[in-house]
Chain A
Amino acid sequence: MTSDTQLFKPREWVALAILAAIILIVIPIGVDTFRLNLVGKYLTYAFVAIGLVLCWGLGGILSLGQGIFFGLGGYCMAMFLKLEASTPEATKIQSTPGIPDFMDWNQITELPFWWQPFHSLSFTLVAIVAVPAIFAYIIGAAMFKRRVGGVYFAIITQAVAAILTILIIGQQGYTGGVNGITDLRTLLGWDIRTDDAKTVLYFVNAVLLIACLVAAQFVRVSKFGRLLVAMRDREDRVRFSGYDVANFKIFIFCLAAAFSAIGGAMFTLQVGFMSPSFVGIVPSIEMVIFCAVGGRMSLFGAVYGALLVNFAKTTFSESFPELWLFAMGGLFIAVVMAFPNGLAGVFRDHVEPALLKLAQRLPLWRAGGVPLSSSAK
Chain B
Amino acid sequence: MKEDPSKNLMSVTRRSLLAGIAAIPLLSITGMPLLAADYPTATVNTTGLAVTDDTVKVGILHSVTGTMAISETGSVQAEKLAIEQINAMGGVLGRKIEFIQEDGASDWPTFAEKAKKLLVQDKAAAVFGCWTSASRKAVLPVFEQYNGMLYYPTFYEGLEESPNVIYTGQEATQQILAGIDWVVKEKGAKSFYLLGSDYIWPRTSNKIARKHIEKLGLEVVGEEYYPLGHTQFNSVINKIKLKKPDVIYAIVVGGSNVAFYKQLKAAGIDLAKEKPLLLTISVTEDEILGIGGENMAGAYAMMKYFQSLDNDNNKAFVEAFKKMWGDDIVIGDVTQAAYLGPWLWKAAVEKAGSFDIDKIKAASPGIELTTAPEGYVKIHENHHLWSKARVGHAQLDGQYKVVYETSELMEPDPFPEGYQ
Chain A residues with CB under 8 Å of chain B are 32-34, 37-38, 41, 93, 95, 102, 105-107, 166, 169-170, 172, 177-180, 182-185, 193, 271-273, 275, 277-278, 314, 317-318, 321-322, 324-325
Contact = CB atoms under 8 A, between A and B. Distances in A.
A179 B198 contact: no
Given A177-B198, A180-B108, A321 B141 contact: no
B319 interface: no
A236 B59 CA distance: 59
Contacts of A183: 137, 140-141
Interface string B33-68: 000000000000000000000000000000011000
Contacts of B102: 317-318, 321
Given A271-B112, A325-B65, A172 B137 contact: no
A106 B137 contact: no
Interface residues of B, number: 36
Nearest to A320: B103
Contact of A321 (B101, B137, B159): B101
A183 B112 CA distance: 11
Given A318-B102, A324-B65, A172 B199 contact: yes
17 contacts: A34-B117, A105-B200, A105-B203, A172-B199, A178-B228, A179-B137, A179-B138, A179-B200, A180-B138, A182-B138, A183-B140, A193-B141, A193-B145, A271-B112, A273-B108, A277-B107, A321-B64
A317 B138 contact: no
B420 interface: yes
B376 interface: no
A43 to B, nearest CB: 14
A267 to B, nearest CB: 9
A52 B141 CA distance: 33
Nearest to B139: A182
B109 interface: yes
B182 interface: no
B24 interface: no
B17 interface: no
B156 to A, nearest CB: 12
A143 to B, nearest CB: 26
Contacts of A278: 109
B85 interface: no
A172 B225 CA distance: 12
Contact of B64 (A170, A172, A322): A322
Nearest to B226: A170
A172 B121 CA distance: 34
B134 to A, nearest CB: 4
A37 B114 CA distance: 12
A180 B134 CA distance: 8
A271 B134 CA distance: 15
A273 B227 contact: no
Given A172-B203, A178-B199, A180-B137, 17 more contacts: A32-B121, A105-B157, A105-B159, A169-B198, A170-B198, A178-B228, A180-B138, A183-B141, A184-B141, A193-B141, A272-B112, A273-B112, A275-B134, A277-B107, A317-B103, A322-B64, A325-B105
Interface of B: 64-65, 101-103, 105, 107-110, 112-114, 116-117, 120-121, 133-134, 137-138, 140-141, 145, 157, 159, 198-200, 203-204, 207, 227-228, 415, 420
A38 B121 CA distance: 12
A346 B368 CA distance: 62
A34 B105 CA distance: 20
Contacts of A272: 112, 141
Contact of B108 (A38, A102, A169, A179): A179
A20 to B, nearest CB: 26
A191 B85 CA distance: 42
B415 A179 contact: no
Nearest to B73: A322
A118 B120 CA distance: 33
Contact of B138 (A32, A41, A275, A314): A275
Contacts of B108: 179-180, 273, 275, 277
B134 A322 contact: no
A102 B157 CA distance: 12
Contacts of B159: 105
A169 B140 contact: no
Contact of A178 (B64, B101, B134, B204): B134
Nearest to A101: B159
A178 B140 CA distance: 16
Nearest to A274: B109
A273 B109 contact: yes
Contacts of A169: 198-199, 227-228
Contacts of A172: 198-200, 203
A273 B116 CA distance: 14
B145 A271 contact: no
Contacts of B121: 32, 34
Contacts of B101: 321
Contacts of B204: 105
A193 B109 CA distance: 15
A95 B102 CA distance: 37
B199 A318 contact: no
Nearest to A166: B227
A182 B228 contact: no
A328 to B, nearest CB: 10
A322 B101 CA distance: 9
A179 B141 contact: no
Contacts of A277: 107-109
Nearest to B142: A272
Nearest to B66: A325
Given A34-B117, A169-B228, A178-B199, A324 B103 contact: yes
| A-B complex: 10 closest residue pairs judged by Cβ atoms | A321-B103, A179-B134, A34-B120, A182-B137, A178-B199, A322-B64, A179-B137, A183-B141, A321-B101, A317-B103
Contacts of B137: 179-180, 182-183
Given A182-B140, A317-B102, A322-B103, A177 B199 contact: yes
A179 B227 contact: no
Contacts of A321: 64, 101-103
B109 A179 contact: no
Nearest to A325: B65
A322 B65 contact: yes
B140 to A, nearest CB: 7
Nearest to A173: B203
Contact of B109 (A105, A170, A271): A271
Contacts of A185: 141
A177 B200 contact: yes
A331 to B, nearest CB: 15
Contacts of A102: 200
A157 B410 CA distance: 50
B420 A95 contact: yes
A177 B204 CA distance: 13
B256 to A, nearest CB: 13
A106 B201 CA distance: 11
Q: Interface centre among A169, A178, A185, by most B CB within 10 Å?
A: A178
A185 B145 CA distance: 10
